[in-house]
Structure 1
Amino acid sequence: MGCFQSKTANVITSPDHPPVQHIPESVTEDQVDHEDQVDHEDQVEQENHVPCFKRFTLRELYDATNGFSGECIVPEGGMKDLSVVYVGKLEGNGLVAIKRLSKLTWPDAQHFVDQATAVGKLRSKRLVNLLGYCVEGGERLLVAEYMPYGTLLKHLFHWDQQTLPWEMRVRVAYYIAQALDYCNVQNQRIYHDLSASRILFDEEGDPRLSTFGLIKNSRDRTSYSTNLTYTPPEFSETGTVIPESVIYSYGNVLIELVSGKRIPPNHAFEITMEKNALLLMDSSLEGKFENEDATELVNLALECLQNNPEVRPDTESLVSAAGPLQKMKEISSHFLMRLPKSTVIQPTMLSLRKACSRMDHKAVYEILLKTGYGDEGPESDLLLVTQVQELVRTKNLGDKAFRDKEFINAIKSYSKLVKMMSVRSVPFATVPYATVFARRSFSYLVTGEHDPALRDAMQAQVCIPEWPTAFYLQALALWELGMETDASDMINKGAELEAKRPQRDQRVRNLL
C-alpha cells in the first residue's frame, strides 16, 4: 500500500541469524474499508508526504543522535518499557524519533525485521508513521516521525500554562479511535500498552498514535509496562495481549481525558455507581463542557473497561461513538491548544558544560529534566520495577516534584528513596541512581544549600565514575562556594570525559 521502498529486499546479515531474502508483501484492496471512518483521500495524501520505509545503518543513527547522547533523549520516551527514545537529525529526513530497544531483546533478527516491516507499511495521518529500522549485531532500533509537541501525558497531567480544553480532549478520543480502527483494518490489531504516553502531537497540534506500540518490546508477549492496576484483566490472568486488550486500554485513556487524573478502572466504576458521570470530571475544566457529551464519553469508557473482552466495543464502534462529540471541527488543534504556529520545532541541543560554566540554572534544569535517566542504561529501571512498589512510588514522587519545580519536595522524596535503597538487603538495590543524586544536587543548589549540592554531585560520580554530568554539577556547586579554580578543573575534566565518550562505547564502535 502506498510508498513502500525498503532495503530489506537486500540480504540481511546478522551474527545471530543467517542471511535471509526478505520481500515486502503487497496490500490488497479489500483491506481498505468503511471509508466513512478512515478517509481514503487523506490516507493517500499522507502516503505522499511520508518518506518511504527503509533500513537504516547503525552509523546513520549513531551520527543522527551524536553517538546516542543523553542530550538527545526524549524525556517522555519511556524508561518504563526498558528502551530509550532519542530525537535525531537524519540527512534528507529532518528530525526523527529513534527507539533503541534494550539489550538481549529480539535475538532473532529476522523476526524483528518482519514485525517492523509489517508496521512500516502503514501510512495514516492518525499515526506516528514508522520510517525504518536498524538491525546490526545485537542492536535493534526503530525510526519514526518526530512529533514536536510531546505527549498527551505531558499536556494532560503536567501542563504549566493551561489545562487541555474539552474540545481537544474529545478530539484526542476521536482521532485515536480512528487510528485504532485504521490499524484494525490493516490487520494490525494488537497494540501494546496504550496510554497517554503513546499519544503524541504533531506540528499541527493534532494527536497521533505512536506506531512503537504496534511492535512488541521483545519477542514474547509477556511484557506489559504499566502498573498492573491499569492492565487488562486478561493480561493479569494469562500474561498475553489480545486485540480486545487495546479497547480496555483505550477506556483507561478516556477516563484520564475526562478526569485529568490517573484513576484505576475499578475506582472509576465506583464513582459512577450513582449514575453521575460528572463526578469524574476534571475540575480544571471549570464546567466548560456539555454535560451530555461528558456523560457519553464516560459511558463509552465504562463499556471499554468491561472485564469480559467479548462485550467490549470494537474499533468501528469507538469511532461512531466519539465522532458526534466533535463540535468544533473547523477549529485547528493549534488554536485549541494555543500552540506556536511553526512547521517544525527544532529541539535545543543544550550543552550542560556551557550551562554550568555560565551558571545558568534554568538551562541546567532543562537539561537534567530532558535527559532524565538516560545515562543509567536501558535496563536500569528494571531494578526498581522488580522491587517493592514503595520504591517506585517514592522515585515517581521525587521525579514529579522535580518536574514541577517543587525542589524542596523533590529533596524530601529523593532523600527518602536514597535511605530506602541504602538499607534494603537486596544487593542490587543498595545503590540509588546517579540521576537521583544529580537532581537532588541541583535541587539543593537552587534552594541555597551549596554544601549538600556538592556532596550529591560527588556521590553521582561514585555511581557513574566517568559521568560528565557529575563533574559539571560539582563545578556549579564549587562556583557557588567561591572555589573558582576547583570549579574550572571540574569543568575541564567533564569536557575531557565527554569528548572521549563515543570511544568508550566499545561495543557500538566495533559494530560500525
Structure 2
Amino acid sequence: MGIRCSKLSLCWWSHSHHKFHSSHTQDLEDRGKDEGESLPTFTEFKLDELRAAASGFSPDNIVSEHGEKAPNVVYKGKLNDGRWIAIKRFHRSAWPDTRQFLEEAKAVGMVRSDKLANLIGCCCDGEERLLVAEFMPNETLSKHLFHWENQPLKWAMRLRVALYLAQALEYCSSKGRSLYHDLNAYRILFDVECNPRLSCFGLMKNSRDGKSYSTNLAFTPPEYMRTGRISPESVIYSFGTLLLDLLSGKHIPPSHALDLIKVKNFRMLIDSNLEGHFSDNDGTELVRLASRCLQYEARERPNAKTLVAALVPLQKETEVASHVLMGIPDGTAIQDSPSLTPLGDACSRQDLIAIHEMLEDIGYKDDEGIANELSFQVWTSQIQETLNCKKHGDTAFRAKDFATAIKCYTQYIDDGTMVSPTVFARRCLSYLMSNMHQEALADAMQAQVVSPEWPTALYLQAAALFRLGMDGDAKETLKDGTSLEAKWKKH
C-alpha cells in the first residue's frame, strides 16, 4: 500500500534549495575527508588482540546479537592504547572466503565521516571473521526513543537525528556505498558528545550471499518481500520507517501509518509527549516526507540528497549541543533497561502454558473501552450474536480448545462491531498453540494497532517472532514491551 505524492512538491524542494544543496554537498564531502584523515588508518587486527580487548569475548561484553541459528554478536572492547571499540563477530559460515571478506571490509573502511560510527579495522584468523569500529558510548536511538527513563527525546533532537542520518546516507552514496542493510533505530548510535551516528556495520552484508537482511516482516521494504534483494530505494523506505519512529515514539507498522495519513488523520501518529513542542507545519512536513519514503513503488521515493534538502530548513535550536538537548551531562552513565516482567519472561522462554494462564488471569481489564461497550444494553439480535461468539470463544480458550477459540474469535472479529485487543491477544495465543506462527504475529501486531500502549501486545509479538526464528527481532521487541510496561506503571 502506498500514497502517490505530488511530483510538483518534490520539484519545489529541489529548486528552492538548489543553491544551498550544492554548497552543502561540498561541505559534507570536505568534512568526510577531514574526518577520515583524523581517524587511524584501517588496521588488520590480530585475533589475540581483539580477544583480550573483549575480555575473552565474555558474555558480559556483549552489546547486541542477532539470531541464534547464525548469530552475529557485537562486543564492547578496550585496546591496549586505551581506545574503546565495538567488535562484530560473524557466524563462522557467513564469510568462508577470506579474500572476499577482507576486500569488503577494506572497502567499507574507506568510507569515513563524522556522521558514521566508522570502521577502523577487521580480523581474519582461521574461521574467525571480525569487524572493528569506533565505540559509541551513549547507546542507541532505540534506547532514547523507546526506553527513555528521565525525559522523552526532544523535538529538536529528533529532527537532528533525521538530518544527520540523511547526511550519513548521502555521504555513503557519494562514496559508492548506497546500500545499507536493515536500517533501524538500533543502527543509530550516539557518540561521546551525544551526536547521532550511523553504524558502519550496516554498510557490509551479514554474509557473502547477502540474504541475511533480517527485520520484522511488517517493516520490510515491499521489493525485498518480492525479490529477496535490497536496493538504494529500499534504504529510503527504511528511512521512512525511522521518521515514523521519531514522530510517534513507537514502532508503528508503515501500512497502518499510511492508512492514517491517507485519511488525513496523521495526528494520531504524533507522540503525545511532544504536544505543544512543535508547530503543525513542521509535523506536516515530516509526515509528508515519511509518506514519500514509504511509496510502494521504489522509483517514486526521494533520494538521500532530497531528504537532506527537506530536513535542513526544519532544524531547531541548532546552536544547542546535542548532549544538552538530550539532558545527558558529560560522564553520566545510561541505566540499563528494566528486567523482564513475568509475562515478558514467559514469552522469552516460549512457555505457552504460562502465557495462557496469565492471559486468562488478566481477562479484559486492560481493554480500553471494551468493558463499557460490552455492558451496554444489547439492542439488536446481531449484537447479541456477536457477543455470544466472544463468550463461546472465551469458554473454549479457558478449556484449552484452541481450534474452537480461533473459530469463535474470528467470527467476533470479522463482525467488526466492537474491537478488543484482548480478543486479538487470545486468538494470537490460540494460533501459537496450533503452530500457526505467522497468523499469531499478525494478531499480536493488530492488538498493538488497536491499543498502542499495551505491553502485552509486544510480549506476544516477541513470542511469535521467537517461534518464527527471528530471535534478534524478538529480543528487541521484548525490550520494547518491558520499557513500555515500566512507563505504564509509573503513570
Structure-1-length-normalised TM-score: 0.62
Give deviations 1:195-252, integer Å, cap 9, x for gaps: 0011011111111101100000001122221111111111000001111110000001
Correspondence 1:264 to 2:313: no
Aligned ranges for residues 459-470 of structure 1 at < 5 Å? none
Whole-angstrom CA distance in 1 between matches of 2:272 and 2:334: 33
Secondary structure, counterpart of 2:51 in structure 1: helix
Which of 138, 158, 166 is residue 177 of structure 1 equivalent to?
A: 166
- C-alpha contact (below 8 Å) 2:65/2:71 kept by paired residues: no
The one-letter code matched in structure 2 to 1:327 is K
Q: Which residue of 1 aligns with 2:271?
A: 282
Q: Which residue of 2 aligns with 1:36?
A: 24
Whole-angstrom CA distance in 2 between matches of 1:97 and 1:45: 22
Secondary structure, counterpart of 2:186 in structure 1: helix
Secondary structure, counterpart of 1:59 in structure 2: helix
Whole-angstrom CA distance in 2 between matches of 1:267 and 1:216: 29
Shift of 1:417: 6.2
Correspondence 1:324 to 2:373: no
Correspondence 1:251 to 2:240: yes
Correspondence 1:86 to 2:135: no
Secondary structure, counterpart of 2:277 in structure 1: coil
For the structure 1 residues 255 and 56, does the alpha-carbon distance in structure 2 shift closer, same or farther, using more than 3 Å as the test?
A: same
The one-letter code matched in structure 2 to 1:388 is H
Whole-angstrom CA distance in 1 between matches of 2:165 and 2:319: 18
For the structure 1 residues 214 and 232, does the alpha-carbon distance in structure 2 shift closer, same or farther, using more than 3 Å as the test?
A: same
Give deviations 1:409-429, integer Å, cap 9, x for gaps: 89x969x969x99xx9x9x99
Correspondence 1:217 to 2:266: no
For the structure 1 residues 394 and 334, does the alpha-carbon distance in structure 2 shift closer, same or farther, using more than 3 Å as the test?
A: farther
Give deviations 1:159-201, integer Å, cap 9, x for gaps: 1111011100010100000000000000001110100011011
The one-letter code matched in structure 2 to 1:338 is G
Aligned ranges for residues 61-72 of structure 1 at < 5 Å? 61-72=50-61
Secondary structure, counterpart of 1:324 in structure 2: helix
Give deviations 1:28-73, integer Å, cap 9, x for gaps: xxxxx94513534433442243221110111011101111000001
Secondary structure, counterpart of 2:167 in structure 1: helix
Q: Which residue of 2 aligns with 1:147?
A: 136
- C-alpha contact (below 8 Å) 1:277/1:294 kept by paired residues: no
Q: Which residue of 1 aligns with 2:97?
A: 108
- C-alpha contact (below 8 Å) 1:265/1:305 kept by paired residues: yes
For the structure 1 residues 417 and 236, does the alpha-carbon distance in structure 2 shift closer, same or farther, using more than 3 Å as the test?
A: closer
- C-alpha contact (below 8 Å) 2:147/2:337 kept by paired residues: no
Shift of 1:275: 2.4
Q: Which residue of 2 aligns with 1:388?
A: 437
Whole-angstrom CA distance in 1 between matches of 2:208 and 2:105: 12
Correspondence 1:122 to 2:111: yes
Q: Which residue of 2 aligns with 1:358?
A: none
For the structure 1 residues 128 and 94, does the alpha-carbon distance in structure 2 shift closer, same or farther, using more than 3 Å as the test?
A: same
Q: Which residue of 2 aligns with 1:189?
A: 178
Secondary structure, counterpart of 2:192 in structure 1: coil
Which of 283, 286, 304 is residue 315 of structure 1 equivalent to?
A: 304
The one-letter code matched in structure 2 to 1:216 is K
Secondary structure, counterpart of 2:189 in structure 1: strand
Shift of 1:77: 5.0
- C-alpha contact (below 8 Å) 1:394/1:417 kept by paired residues: no
Whole-angstrom CA distance in 1 between matches of 2:279 and 2:338: 43
The one-letter code matched in structure 1 to 2:106 is T
For the structure 1 residues 391 and 128, does the alpha-carbon distance in structure 2 shift closer, same or farther, using more than 3 Å as the test?
A: farther
Secondary structure, counterpart of 1:87 in structure 2: strand
Whole-angstrom CA distance in 2 between matches of 1:391 and 1:315: 36
For the structure 1 residues 34 and 145, does the alpha-carbon distance in structure 2 shift closer, same or farther, using more than 3 Å as the test?
A: farther
Moved more, 125-134 or 265-274: 265-274
Whole-angstrom CA distance in 1 between matches of 2:230 and 2:253: 19
Whole-angstrom CA distance in 1 between matches of 2:251 and 2:272: 14
Structure-2-length-normalised TM-score: 0.64
The one-letter code matched in structure 2 to 1:128 is A
The one-letter code matched in structure 2 to 1:83 is N
Which of 102, 118, 123 is residue 134 of structure 1 equivalent to?
A: 123
Q: Which residue of 2 aligns with 1:496?
A: none
Q: Which residue of 1 aligns with 2:392?
A: none
The one-letter code matched in structure 2 to 1:299 is R
Secondary structure, counterpart of 2:236 in structure 1: helix
Give the share of equivalent positions with the same residue, in percent. Answer: 46
Whole-angstrom CA distance in 2 between matches of 1:244 and 1:207: 22
For the structure 1 residues 205 and 79, does the alpha-carbon distance in structure 2 shift closer, same or farther, using more than 3 Å as the test?
A: farther
Whole-angstrom CA distance in 2 between matches of 1:304 and 1:363: 31
Shift of 1:120: 0.2
Shift of 1:158: 0.9
- C-alpha contact (below 8 Å) 1:391/1:417 kept by paired residues: no
Whole-angstrom CA distance in 1 between matches of 2:216 and 2:112: 31
Whole-angstrom CA distance in 2 between matches of 1:85 and 1:291: 40
- C-alpha contact (below 8 Å) 1:78/1:84 kept by paired residues: yes
The one-letter code matched in structure 2 to 1:270 is D
Moved more, 161-170 or 222-231: 222-231
The one-letter code matched in structure 1 to 2:228 is G
Shift of 1:346: 8.3
Moved more, 284-293 or 61-70: 284-293
Shift of 1:92: 2.2
Whole-angstrom CA distance in 1 between matches of 2:436 and 2:183: 24
Q: Which residue of 2 aligns with 1:293?
A: 282
Q: Which residue of 2 aligns with 1:56?
A: 45
Moved more, 311-320 or 92-101: 92-101
- C-alpha contact (below 8 Å) 2:159/2:316 kept by paired residues: no
Q: Which residue of 2 aligns with 1:96?
A: 85
